Every structure is written in structure tokens, then in C-alpha cells.
């Protein structure tokens, strides 16, 4: 177990996480709905993003540290070698983000995510998986992770993902998203059939926003496409999540494909 000294909080307006363009292809979206199980990200971080590294391989943790060297707004506050230790350190250090390997000893990454999210700690989970995608990925989403990244992601994608998750936004690497959609494609209903009644609670505009979210557009891009303000889009997204009982945008994307509202490789039913 490694714990770094906790840095002093910087004066307001300094060392805020830099907002940068997410690498092309990464799904990203703002989670706007207050949730009972997942803490809301701070409206404004006045100090560096505090990160806990959880991986059973010391060399892998060293690699993560090296990737974060020189990023003034990102600070590693501790390291854990297994899931139980990750939960213990998260409770003690309250990091902003836990970089969590899904294949951890003693307590799996999925179970550790459930414990951290269930404790309603002010921490976001960025889950890491190998190239062997399996049900651990789906389990992580269900447990409350709002970021999914492959362990071989380039350093710049890792840095961007940490900042995004710390800001309360969801990130899914393209390869993982492709795998998820492929997995759900076999369960999709006939596109000629109407969407299930679960979606009946949505207004036409809310359905339209959900379609754009499922296509991977950010709030700003949706606002431009629909000729409305970004604030209006955020409000619609919040209504969609609330009405459908969803935790975040990642779950909204999954539901949109599961319900047949959007089809892989094609437009939504009734959409051009």
C-alpha cells in the first residue's frame, strides 16, 4: 500500500482540471441527474484531481504514474494492489477518481466498484480492462463506473479520461463501446417494431436528444444540431435519465440500443 502526501488545496481559480478535447471516437457525456447511488462531481474543483491507482501489478502502477508526470492538475494520492485495499484507501483518502483494474485479487474490480459507489463516497470510478473484453465490463457499468478504458490506451487518452471522469462526465473507449454494441446487437428487437413502452414517458424532443446521446454526441454538439442552447440539452438529458430511472449517459446509450430506438450502423427508427 502506498499513500502519497495530500497536497494543500490551491486558491480558488488555480489548478482546476484543464478541459481538453477528448480524442476522436471516445464517447463522452455529462451526467446531469442527481443520483442516490453515485455522488455528484464537485461543481468546481479548486485543487488538483486526486487519484488512487488500483492495480495488482507494481509495474503497471508505475506506468500510470509516469503517464501523469508533468500534469499539474493531476495528483496521485495512493496505490492499492488489490480490490479490498482499493476500497479501504478510497474510504480513507476520498480521492476524486479511482483508476481501477477490473481484474484485482481478493476483491474484484466490479465488487470494489459496488462497495465504493454503494458507500456514496465523493469518488468517480474509471475502470480499466485488458484487450480481453468480457462480462466484467458490463458488471462495471452496472456497479456504477462512469469511465471504461483499455489498459493499453495511450497516455494522452488516459489523462483526458481522468479529467473527464473527475468532471462527472462518462467516457467509454471506442473499442469497448464497439464490443458493448456488438454484445447487445443480438438482443435488439426487430427495428420494424415500435420502441417499447418504457420510452412512452419521453416527449418527442427528449427522444430526439436520447437518439443523439446514443450516437455519441456531446451536449454542445447536440445543441448545435438541434439549434437549442446547451443548457436546454442538459435539462432534456436530465429529464431522460430521471424518467427512465437511469444512472448516467452510459446507461442511456445502452438502453437506446437495447430498446431498438437506435440501431448499430444505422439511424434510429423513423429517423433520417
Structural domains of the chain in order of their starting residue, each with its CATH number: 13-181 (3.40.50.2300), 187-258 (1.10.10.10)
**What is the pLDDT confidence band of residue 20, given thresholds at 50, 70 and 90?**
very low
Q: Give yes or no for a contact between 24 and 135, defined as CB atoms under 8 angstroms apart.
A: no
**What is the pLDDT confidence band of residue 175, given thresholds at 50, 70 and 90?**
confident
| Spatial separation of the C-alpha atoms in residues 239 and 242, rounded to whole Å | 5
Q: What is the 3 state secondary structure string of 34-72? A: CCCCCCCCCCCCCCCEEEEEECCCHHHHHHHHHHHCCCC
pLDDT at 265 over 70: no
Work out the percent of the chain whose per-residue pLDDT is above 90: 44
Mean pLDDT of the chain: 78
Alpha helices in 55-132 (DSSP H): 58-68, 83-93, 109-118
pTM above 0.85, yes or no: no
Looking at per-residue pLDDT, the higher value among 29 and 97 belongs to: 97
Which tens digit of pLDDT belongs to each residue from 211-231?
Answer: 998 887 888 889 999 999 999
Question: Residue 192's pLDDT is what?
Answer: 52
**What is the pLDDT confidence band of residue 130, given thresholds at 50, 70 and 90?**
confident
Which set of grid coordinates corresponds to residue 123?
469518488
| Spatial separation of the C-alpha atoms in residues 96 and 77, rounded to whole Å | 10
Amino acid at each position: 500500500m502506498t499513500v502519497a502526501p495530500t497536497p494543500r488545496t490551491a486558491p480558488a481559480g488555480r489548478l482546476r482540471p484543464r478541459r481538453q478535447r477528448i480524442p476522436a471516437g471516445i464517447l463522452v457525456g455529462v451526467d446531469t441527474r442527481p443520483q442516490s447511488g453515485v455522488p455528484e462531481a464537485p461543481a468546481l474543483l479548486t485543487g488538483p484531481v486526486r487519484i488512487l491507482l488500483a492495480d495488482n501489478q507494481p509495474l503497471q502502477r508505475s506506468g500510470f504514474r509516469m503517464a501523469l508526470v508533468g500534469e499539474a492538475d493531476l495528483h496521485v494520492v495512493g496505490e492499492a494492489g488489490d480490490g479490498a485495499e482499493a476500497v479501504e484507501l478510497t474510504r480513507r483518502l476520498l480521492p476524486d477518481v479511482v483508476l481501477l483494474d477490473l481484474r484485482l485479487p481478493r476483491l474484484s474490480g466490479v465488487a470494489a466498484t459496488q462497495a465504493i459507489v454503494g458507500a456514496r463516497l465523493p469518488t468517480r470510478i474509471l475502470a480499466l480492462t485488458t484487450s480481453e473484453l468480457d462480462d466484467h465490463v458490463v458488471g462495471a457499468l452496472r456497479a456504477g463506473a462512469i469511465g471504461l478504458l483499455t489498459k493499453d490506451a495511450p497516455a494522452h487518452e488516459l489523462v483526458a479520461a481522468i479529467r473527464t471522469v473527475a468532471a462527472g462526465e462518462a467516457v467509454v473507449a471506442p473499442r469497448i463501446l464497439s464490443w458493448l454494441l456488438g454484445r447487445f446487437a443480438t438482443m435488439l428487437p426487430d427495428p420494424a417494431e415500435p420502441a417499447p413502452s418504457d420510452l412512452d414517458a419521453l416527449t418527442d424532443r427528449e427522444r430526439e436528444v436520447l437518439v443523439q446521446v446514443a450516437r455519441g454526441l456531446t451536449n454542445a454538439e447536440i445543441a448545435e444540431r438541434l439549434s437549442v442552447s446547451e443548457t436546454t440539452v442538459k435539462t432534456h438529458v436530465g429529464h431522460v435519465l430521471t424518467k427512465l430511472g437511469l444512472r448516467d449517459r452510459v446507461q442511456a446509450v445502452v438502453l437506446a440500443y437495447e430498446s431498438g430506438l437506435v440501431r448499430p450502423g444505422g439511424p434510429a427508427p423513423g429517423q433520417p
